[in-house]
Structure 1
Amino acid sequence: MATYLESMQTYFKNNGKTREFSAHSSKVHSVAWNCEGRKLASGSYDKSVNVFHLDRDRLSKDVTFRGHSDSVDQLCWHPKHPDQLVTASGDKTIRLWDARANKSIATVNTKGENINICWSPDGSTIAVGNKDDLITFIDAKTHRSRLDQQYHFEVNEISWNRDGDLFFMTSGQGCIHVLSYPDLKSQVVLNAHPANCICIEVDPKGNYFATGSADALVSIWDIRELACLRTISRLDWPVRALSFSHDGKMLASASEDLVIDICEVETGEKISEVPVESPTFTIAWNPKKHLLAFACDDKSERDRDRDAGTVKLYGLPGEH
């Protein structure tokens, strides 16, 4: 009987096709699936947000949201509501949107240019980080700030664990700061990497988290023991984005390398790699299927008009 590694290697060997869809007029900064895996949202340098629905093996555009006056740098969907999403922009606001009603629910003014955003697992709180290393916790119902937390080190990405009682931050010193939530008391500072720790992702099953660093390494951690289990060293450039598959068994890693690495979490062994033509800064596994969405940096000026603003899908949307 084939192992998981072998079966998935065979699956992607047979189904490892990349399809490309026009989404924006310029670079796509963020892609994310809703909790049902039926809709994909993309945010762009062109200040807009697009929502697509997955129609068999292709993406069809549902709606374009406009309202931000600067680049949309990151977005995420409500963890339980399939039609609500939130976007973070350099215009010093976050916006909540309703994909079903095709409109903005709320605009929340913040204190800086926002670069990171995440939703608590219960959907009650939104955390947003800005370029000045200030984290603001916002009540998702009242749209009011609950707390501002200023840090005196470079804060990169932020995330809750699946239980919502721990809050993680990656830092420019290569550390992972683990705080209790909601009191935000420091529990431990993990020396994860010798270089800037850029991104963090928690697996859907709540067993692991992974970090990516400027040292080109990916580290996989036991989330309960807060112990590093293994490192992945196949990439050559800083790791910019990570995503776990819906079963928590695969991890995709993206960088300025011209491949996206897909590994088995349990062993770190390579399952597949996705060829790309330019650096990749955002990736997202579908929460129900072995289907990876991603977007690449715009290529050279000569190719920019043709390649700008595209969203790509790797794999097939059918269940495996």
Structure 2
Amino acid sequence: MEPIVYLPVLTLRSIAPSYFTAAFHPSKSREYREHRPSSHSNNAVIRSIAWNNLGNRIACGLNTNLVRVWNPEKPEAKNSTELKGHLKDVEKVVWDPMHPDKLASCCNGQVKFWDYRINRCLGTTVTAGDNVNLAYHPDSKVLAVGTKDDRIHFIDPRNASAILKTHKEGSQTNQVTFSHNGDFVLITTSLGKVVLRHWPSLEEVYSVDAHHSAVNCLQLDPRGSTLAIGGSDAALSLWDTAHWVCLRTLTRMDAPIKSMGYSFDGAYVCASSDESTNIEIVCVLNCPQSNTLADGCFAGPL
């Protein structure tokens, strides 16, 4: 059995207002505006957005077949980098976890690997399906690509011309990601389950019956101790990855949860939906069976 490590609470719910006020009150929002394409009546639509691991670049996937990399210190479009080469709308962008200057992007039937410093495509992989999800292995040697036909392709970015292996899940899949230690692949399903498969064998290790309807998204907290799962039932559930028990179920949303994100310290989770303009931010450091604040949190095996 894995040892349990207790870690101090970094931020408590009772001080959340002052926490966010201190963090954001002195700051002012800054606008980064896309060009107005000549062939479109409206501004370009951002379909995906991601920070690199150093926090000094932002990548955006656009509906104009373009990936744009922004410098947060210079909001003018002329100071950004345009990565051209996709033939269709860019559905997803994700940064290489080991190289802050490299990233991957996908459109229908195509995955591209980039080095934005030299404005160059490092390789292209042709896939048979409509690509909707990307996830790097923590060592950056493998990229998982999820498609609308419930297939997951695994690609070596160093040799993008070939697909290492392809896995067909038995039910609809909406997201795939790797555990922090790289030993497991976590897959959401339309059956309300999250399936854990061993990497690289892809043998099923465990499944979590998380929701009564489809699971749309999931994310591990920074320590790998808690898994947040968002469903089409508008609920967000939090699971202890050491014992696989549900710690809390959050039901503030009134529409299917499509995306989520943890704060850097794992103290807060934000969730959003395509059908609502609201973003819910929730403190997740409560004890699982009471409304009192926890004294610590588990460091799980993932």
Same fold (TM over 0.5): yes
- The one-character-per-residue Cα deviations of 1:67-112 (angstroms, maximum 9, x if unpaired) are 111111111100110000001211x010001011111111111111
Aligned to 1:150: 168
Which secondary structure does the structure 1 equivalent of 2:13 belong to? helix
- The one-character-per-residue Cα deviations of 1:170-225 (angstroms, maximum 9, x if unpaired) are 01111111111111111122111111100111222222221111100111112232
Alignment equivalent of 2:145, drawn from 113, 124, 128: 128
Alignment equivalent of 1:71, drawn from 76, 89, 110: 89
Alignment equivalent of 2:18, drawn from 2, 10, 21: 10
- The aligned amino acid for 1:23 is E
Q: Quickly say closer, same or farther: Cα 1:240–1:20, change in 2 above 3 A.
A: farther
Q: CA deviation at 1:6?
A: 3.7
- The one-character-per-residue Cα deviations of 1:224-264 (angstroms, maximum 9, x if unpaired) are 32222111111100001011111122111111222101111
- The aligned amino acid for 1:228 is C
CA RMSD across the alignment: 2.1
Which of 1 and 2 has greater Rg?
A: 2
Which secondary structure does the structure 2 equivalent of 1:189 belong to? strand
- Bigger proportion of residues as strand: 1
Asked whether 1:84 is paired with 2:102, we answer yes
- The aligned amino acid for 1:12 is F
Answer whether contact 1:112 1:132 (CA < 8 A) is retained. Answer: yes
Distance in 2 of aligned mates of 1:179 and 1:33: 27
Aligned to 1:51: 69
Q: Quickly say closer, same or farther: Cα 1:211–1:78, change in 2 above 3 A.
A: same
Answer whether contact 1:235 1:257 (CA < 8 A) is retained. Answer: no
Gaps of 5+ in 2: 1-9, 36-42, 292-302
Alignment equivalent of 2:112, drawn from 85, 90, 95: 95
Aligned to 1:23: 34
Distance in 2 of aligned mates of 1:18 and 1:7: 23
Q: Which residues of 2 match residues 150-189 of structure 1 at below 5 A?
A: 150-189=168-207
Aligned to 2:297: none
- The aligned amino acid for 2:85 is G
Structure of higher RCO (CA pairs closer than 8 Å, 6+ residues apart): 1
Distance in 1 of aligned mates of 2:16 and 2:264: 14
TM-score, normalising length from structure 1?
0.78
- The aligned amino acid for 2:32 is F
Which secondary structure does the structure 2 equivalent of 1:136 belong to? strand
- The aligned amino acid for 1:261 is E
Q: Quickly say closer, same or farther: Cα 1:23–1:203, change in 2 above 3 A.
A: farther
TM-score, normalising length from structure 2?
0.82
Q: Quickly say closer, same or farther: Cα 1:158–1:84, change in 2 above 3 A.
A: same
Distance in 2 of aligned mates of 1:170 and 1:27: 26
- The one-character-per-residue Cα deviations of 1:15-47 (angstroms, maximum 9, x if unpaired) are 266543213632211111101011110102221
- The aligned amino acid for 1:147 is K
Alignment equivalent of 1:257, drawn from 247, 262, 276: 276
Distance in 2 of aligned mates of 1:85 and 1:194: 35
- The aligned amino acid for 1:135 is I
Aligned to 2:127: 110
Distance in 2 of aligned mates of 1:228 and 1:59: 45
Q: Percent identity?
A: 30
Q: CA deviation at 1:119?
A: 0.2
